[in-house]
Structure 1
Amino acid sequence: MASRLGTQLGEWHATGGVAASLADRIRMLLLDGRITVGERLPSERALAAELGRSRATIARAYELLESRGYATREHGSGTRAALPTQRIQRPEAAGDGVIDFTIASVGSAPGMHAATVRALDRLAGLLGTPGYSLDGLPQLRERIAARYTARGLPTSPEQIVVTSGAMHALTVVLAAFGERGRAALVEQPSFPHAMDALRRTGHRLLPTPVTPAAPDAAPSTGGGDAGGWDAAHLIDTLRSQRPALAYLIADFHNPTGATMPELERARLAAVARTTGTLLVVDETCAELDIDRGWTPRPFAAHGPAILLGSMSKIAWGGLRIGWIRAEGAQVARLLAARPSIDLGTPLLEQCIAIELLDDMDALLARARERLSAGRAAVAAGLAAHLPQVAMPRVPGGLAAWVDLGGPWSTALSLAARDRGLLLPPGPRFAPSGVLDRFARIPITWEPEVTADAMARLGGAWRALHAGELPDTTRLAASAVV
């Protein structure tokens, strides 16, 4: 039986010395959360047999991990993953020019300060209330519902539950509808923290592939994209495995940027109804359109689905406002489960969101302008510094899912960190540690920051292909946003 470490290693191939390359890969698995601190690693003999390597190679890799503080070895207890106590440089504490490409989120909207000032007047009218808001302020739920209606999905305020961001929304959904021990279908790649949440609630992940559009693919007209979902695999997995739920990102998929065609949504909704699968559709990127050329309706317009939304990607990541759109009976279950997590979203942030939603057109126009400039900067950076790597078509969303042409993403991520660039490796976005030939490059940063970052990435690329090993003593632990 394959070990968890062997499964997470996935498509690992040595990029230099075999033992050093293996140690680097295990270290990255630990730093991006796929292997946990304290987790027992397979024995030298077992891992050697699983990987088809010599026991001496595995022993040397474990020795390298131990010498750098990333493993502890005790007689009778085996080898366990660890973190060095003094050598982890966290990006939020790095004031020396580190660029954090683990973050794919636009900066705060220009009107954020003015909206906050106006929101204080709204808050003043609420100070005589208890201050708890389990489902959200009525005025905010009205505006969110109206937005869904305008996009082609009639929605009432009673169908909205306001949360503290989309990840909090998913947590509430899983508290109400999760089924420990059951399967959950997820896309591959997908948003890492959503997969972590599903695992934490005891779900077994079933991956279904999503591929990026080719660099020269024609813009979609709504009848299908080049790349995107493998519809046959998706439907067959639903029918054969009958998962309890499916977590999907159907609009500007994170990280590939694909959008699911309308007919595919309708078919998926129909099949999910027959298999008893709850569809949980993350729409945090749904309105981040640059030049897609068509606008699909929200997923639930095609059949039953719980929708997750957020202000973070269109206004500011520091504004922790999200929501759930569900049917009446589902809302009741969500509100029954929520008090075990929290007792409501902060009122001031809800008041700010009300002000911002009243000027949604300007908010989206500003996001489109930023994303367009960021996309151009990434494309220019690839052409200048990584000419062997093609820019995929990115009609909107948060990032470019770049095919590196070989299983180099983890090694490139390590080398980039040596140059002050934090870039999550492709396998972080996969349920089982594959996709090491891909990297997610955000299009959300200012062009001048992106230009600097791409120059650093180019330096890492050249060093990697010249056979230089990355300096693994300054690795950073970070989330992926």
Structure 2
Amino acid sequence: MASRLGTQLGEWRATGGVAQSLADRIRMLLLDGRITAGERLPSERSLAAELGRSRATIARAYELLEARGYVTRAHGSGTRAALPAQRIQPPIAADAGVIDFTIASVGSAPGLHAATVRALDRLAGMLGTPGYSLDGLPQLRERIAERYAARGLPTDPSQIVVTSGAMHALTVVLAAFGERGRPALVEQPSFPHAMDALRRTGHRLLPTPVAPAAHGAGTDGGRAGTDGEQAGGGWDASHLIDTLRAHRPALAYLIADFHNPTGATMPELERARLAAVARTTGTLLVVDETCAELDIDRGWTPRPFAAHGPAILIGSMSKIAWGGLRIGWIRTSSAEQTARLLAARPSIDLGTAMLEQCIAIELLDDMDALLERARERLSTGRSAVAAGLAAHLPEVAMPRVPGGLAAWVDLGGPWSTALSLAARDRGLLLPPGPRFAASGVLDRFTRIPISWEPEVTHEAMTRLGDAWRAVHAGERPDTTRLAASAVV
């Protein structure tokens, strides 16, 4: 039976010295949160058998980790992962020259300040109330419902529950509908923090693959057919449906529009088929739509997933207006679902901040301008990433990126973790591909955001090119300053 460490190592291949390469990979798993401090690691003998390596190689890797404080070893207790607190520094401040590519967000909207000023007048009229808003302000729920209707999904404001961002929305959904010990279907790759939330609530993850888009159309994003068929990449529909039928998971977490991180959009026919099968298996579909309207030049616009059958939808203002505006929402498919969410929520919080809701109302009144500004920013950023790859990593092709926040780049080999380590040495924080996997696979991919200003992207790609050349020259990374970071 495969150990958890063996599963997390996934597609690991030695680059340079085998023991040192293995030690580097285990260290990255620990710093990235995929192996936890205090977790017991396999014995030298069992890990050697699992990886097909000599026991001496495993012993040497553990020795290297122990010398740096990343494992502790005691007779009778085995080998356990550890964090050398005296060596781990906090993330370097932005003014120290670090570029944080773990963040994919378009930044604050130009009209945010003016919207905040106008929102103060709205807030003033509410100061005589208790100030709690379990389901959200009626005016905000009305505007969110109107947005769904404009996208082809009639929605009543009673179907909307306002939350403090998309991750908070998922937390509330899992509190209401999660079933500890039951399987949950997730895409692979997928949003890391969503998978973490599912694990924390006791779900066993069932991955289903989402392939990256085809190469060769990086600067204009390429175009899908008018019927919504993917021009390369996307979901393996057969695998997805077969997994649902075979395991009957309690719920499925999906990102059907501008999938994070591949950028794929699920075709309408696949949505309808999936919704029908989920009804037969009793699977609750939870669909993350935080990137749904970040269209650059996709060439077609699907309806929201719930137009094809019952599904809980999660949305957010963070990717459109500003990450600091903690406004998200849940759209339910029934009054019963809404009641369960509102019954579960008080154990988490008692409502979303009133001022931020008032700001969101003002911004939603000018949604077209917000989306146009996001489109321009993402289009410019996409071109900058494509130019950076061509200039600094010419062996690596730019994938199709018709929208969304990032490019899911195929490195051509299992170098993502090593590249992430080398990039950190050069002041560039870049999450490795396996961080987006339910297990330790996808080390040949990396996510590069297209949301940064061109001048920042230019400098970041220069550093990434330096890291790429260092990895292929066999340079050892400096791991004494690494710190785990979130992925946004």
Tell me which interval the TM-score lies in, with the shorter structure as reference length: over 0.9
Give the drift of 1:95. Answer: 3.4
For 2:294, give the aligned amino acid.
L
Instruction: Identify if the C-alpha distance between structure 1 residues 151 and 92 changes in structure 2 by more than 3 Å, giving closer, same or farther.
Output: farther
Deviations 1:249-297 (A, max 9, x none): 0000000000000011001101111111100000000000000000000
Aligned ranges for residues 11-90 of structure 1 at < 5 Å? 11-90=11-90
Report if aligned partners of 1:417, 1:476 keep a CA contact under 8 Å in 2. no
Match of 2:139 in 1: 139
Are 2:223 and 1:219 aligned?
yes
**CA 1:93–1:75: 2 relative to 1, 3 Å:** farther
User: Secondary structure at 1:247's aligned position in 2?
Assistant: strand
**Which residue of structure 2 aligns with residue 399 of structure 1?**
406
- What secondary structure, in the 3-state scheme, does the structure 1 residue paired with 2:187 have? strand
1:295 counterpart letter in structure 2: T
Is the 8 Å Cα contact of residues 281 and 308 (structure 1) preserved in structure 2?
yes
Where in structure 2 are the equivalents of 1:258-297 lying within 5 Å?
258-297=264-303
Report Cα offsets for 1:46-83 as digits up to 9, x if no partner. Answer: 11111111111111111111111211222221211111
How do residues 191-340 of structure 1 correspond to structure 2 at under 5 angstroms? Answer: 191-216=191-216, 219-221=223-225, 222-225=227-230, 226-326=232-332, 327-340=334-347
Contact 2:261–2:447, Cα closer than 8 Å, also in 1 = yes
Distance 1:156 1:395 in 2: 31
Q: CA RMSD in A?
A: 1.0
Match of 1:97 in 2: 97
Three-state SS of the structure 2 residue aligned to 1:132 is coil
| Alignment match, 1:184 | 184
- Residue 95 of structure 1 aligns to a residue whose secondary structure is helix
Task: Decide whether the 8 Å contact of 2:228 with 2:300 is kept in 1.
Answer: no
Aligned partners of 2:320 and 2:84: how far apart in 1? Answer: 37
Displacement after TM superposition at 1:476 (Å): 2.2
Q: Distance in 2 between matches of 1:84 and 1:108?
A: 37
Match of 1:412 among 419, 426, 444: 419
Q: What SS does the corresponding residue of 2:209 show, helix, strand or coil?
A: strand
Q: Distance in 2 between matches of 1:63 and 1:132?
A: 55
1:356-412 CA-partner distances (Å, limit 9, x unpaired): 101101100111111001100000000000000000000000100000000000011
**Cα distance between partner residues in 2 of 1:379 and 1:427:** 23
Kindly provide the amino acid, as one letter, of the partner of residue 31 in structure 1. L
Stretch of structure 1 that moved more, 431-440 or 34-43: 34-43
1:372 aligns with 2:379: yes
Could you tell me which amino acid in structure 1 is paired with residue 11 of structure 2?
E
1:388 aligns with 2:395: yes
Query: What is the SS of the residue equivalent to 1:338?
Result: helix
CA contact (8 A) 2:92 2:98 kept: no
Matched residues in 1 for 2:14 and 2:157: separation?
Answer: 55
The 4+ residue runs of structure 1 with deviation greater than 4 A are none
Distance of 2:272 and 2:447 partners within structure 1:
29
TM-score (norm 2): 0.97
How far apart are residue 474 of structure 1 and its match?
Answer: 1.8
C-alpha contact (below 8 Å) 1:88/1:477 kept by paired residues = no
**Given the alignment of the two structures, is residue 439 of structure 1 paired with residue 446 of structure 2, yes or no?**
yes
How many angstroms apart in 2 are the aligned matches of 1:90 and 1:455?
24
Structure 2 unaligned spans of 5+: none
Matched letter for residue 376 of structure 2: E
For the 8 Å contact 1:48–1:58, the answer to whether it is kept is yes
Structure 2 CA distance, aligned partners of 1:27 and 1:332? 45
Distance 2:380 2:24 in 1: 35
Shift of 1:92: 5.6
Q: Which amino acid aligns with 1:269?
A: A
Q: Does 1:423 align with 2:430?
A: yes
Instruction: Report the identity percentage.
Output: 89
Aligned AA (2:58): I
Q: Judge conservation of contact 2:186–2:205 (CA < 8 Å) in 1.
A: yes
Secondary structure at 1:91's aligned position in 2?
Answer: coil
Q: Deviations over 1:81-134 (max 9, x none)?
A: 111213223336453101110111111001111111111111111111111110
The secondary structure found in structure 2 opposite 1:162 is: strand
Q: Structure 2 CA distance, aligned partners of 1:40 and 1:223?
A: 47
Larger mean Cα displacement after TM superposition, 92-101 or 30-39: 92-101
1:58 partner amino acid: I
The letter for the 1-side match of 2:390 is: A
Q: Equivalent residue for 1:119?
A: 119
Helix, strand or coil for the counterpart of 1:279? strand
Equivalent of 2:363, from 356, 371, 374?
Answer: 356
Query: What is the identity, as a one-letter code, of the residue corresponding to 2:146?
Result: A
Aligned length: 481
Measured in 2, the distance between the counterparts of 1:94 and 1:322 equals 27
Preserved CA contact (<8 Å) 2:216 2:397: no
Letter in 2 for 1:45: R
Letter in 2 for 1:223: G
AA aligned opposite 2:48 = A
For 2:343, what is the secondary structure of its paired residue?
A: helix
2:460 paired with 1:453? yes
Distance across 2 between alignment mates of 1:386 and 1:216:
15
Displacement of 1:437 after TM fit?
0.3
Q: Specify the SS of the correspondent of 1:436.
A: coil
What is the distance in 1 between the residues matched to 2:402 and 2:86?
43
The separation in 1 between residues aligned to 2:114 and 2:107, in whole angstroms, is 16
CA contact (8 A) 1:89 1:477 kept: no
Q: 3-state SS of the aligned residue for 1:417?
A: helix
